[in-house]
Amino acid sequence: MELRSYRLFRYTLPLKQPFTTHAGALNEREGIIVELQDNEGCSGFGEGVAFAIPFYTSETVASSWILLQETLLPLLFAKKVNHPTEVPQLFSGIVGNQMAKAAVEGAAWDLYAKQQGKSLVACIGGTRTKAKAGAVISLSDDLEQTIEMIRSQGFERAKLKVTKYNERRAIELVKEIDPELPLMIDGNGMYKKEDISLLAGLDSLNLQMIEQPFIPGDIVLHQRLQQRMNTSICLDETVESFSDAWQALELGACRTINIKIGRVGGLTEAIRIHNLCQQAGLAVWCGGMVETGISKAHNLALASLPGFSIPGDLSGSDRYFDRDLLINPLRVEQGSIRIPDEPGIGVEVDMEYLLYVSSEVSTGK
């Protein structure tokens, strides 16, 4: 594939309302867009989904920005790259920083697919034309209003953010409003060994799953909890690579994995994890990061693979922002989002608005 130059955009978008978890409230989304350009004027886009502070992983927007400028993009342009699957090997000498790596690889995949005149879905062997959508209910959401939105748009499941010792009441409140709504909860790693019995006691509530109850390194605690519960345990932050996923499956620490492109270092690794889970008979789903439509379009391509049978965190462009970075925003219709089949990720970036909301723009080649 041909590369000529790049541009980095450091953007800030205000959220329609705060997105709150036990770790705090997010009032605006700061992030990074990577644009790779070729000599024909074609551009590919990827998104760096680290947050401004390291509450999810150790990466931040600031650390990603520096690494992209000083290390990752110079590595990319120092060697001929024929296919996006070669990008992870270029970055193999850099420890961690999965989200910065994924941003570059994502832009490479988008550009490569456009150069081939194919959709990203076709390039990775996707089979679905629609992705089932799931909604996230944050701690600051109005339950009545949010569940009404979930009903009206046809979301096929809801993920509830909870606080420790208040989870049962929160679940019961949702079930009082809509007893038929498929529901899961997200622990965001806030539980400890002494909370195993507390969590096991939620088995009677018929949850779809419990996501990431313990901190990322505690695979054994996830295994012990899964052994005590009929409810599926889902891993999120624990899985940052194929190796992490393999170990979790070998130990029986979960029954499903939330695959996030940014968290695992890019689309190539995400596909490997999908294939591993499919071989093991585990259904997977695609997680979200309160990101823009650029990242959502990459997620939709990933969710076109056959193993993604569980509705993911695949909301429309209007879920978090009044105005997205796309000319034509992504929409949820009757519980699903159409997976773009146009060249590349299949969406058009609103470059004028991206420049407007960007505090910094960096170029190079």
Active site residues: 161, 260
CA distance 268 to 201: 38
Residue type, 146: T
CA distance 66 to 50: 13
Q: Is 36 helix (H, G, I), strand (E, B) or coil?
A: strand
Q: Is 207 helix (H, G, I), strand (E, B) or coil?
A: coil
Q: Are 185 and 167 in contact (CB under 8 A)?
A: yes
> Is beta strand 358-364 parallel, antiparallel or unpaired with respect to 5-21?
antiparallel
Q: How distant is the alpha carbon of residue 89 from its chain centre? A: 22
Distances (CA, A) of 295 to 144, 299, 327: 29, 6, 14
344: left (phi > 0), else alpha (psi -120 to 50), else beta? left
CA distance 28 to 16: 9
The vertex-362 CA angle with 361 and 365, nearest 5°, equals 145
CA distance 236 to 223: 14
CA distance 33 to 18: 22
Based on its alpha-carbon atoms, the radius of gyration of the chain, rounded to whole angstroms, reads 20
Residue type, 241: S
DSSP line for 102-137: HHHHHHHHHHHHHHHT-BHHHHHT---SEEEB-EEE
- Tokens for 316, please give them: 């429309």
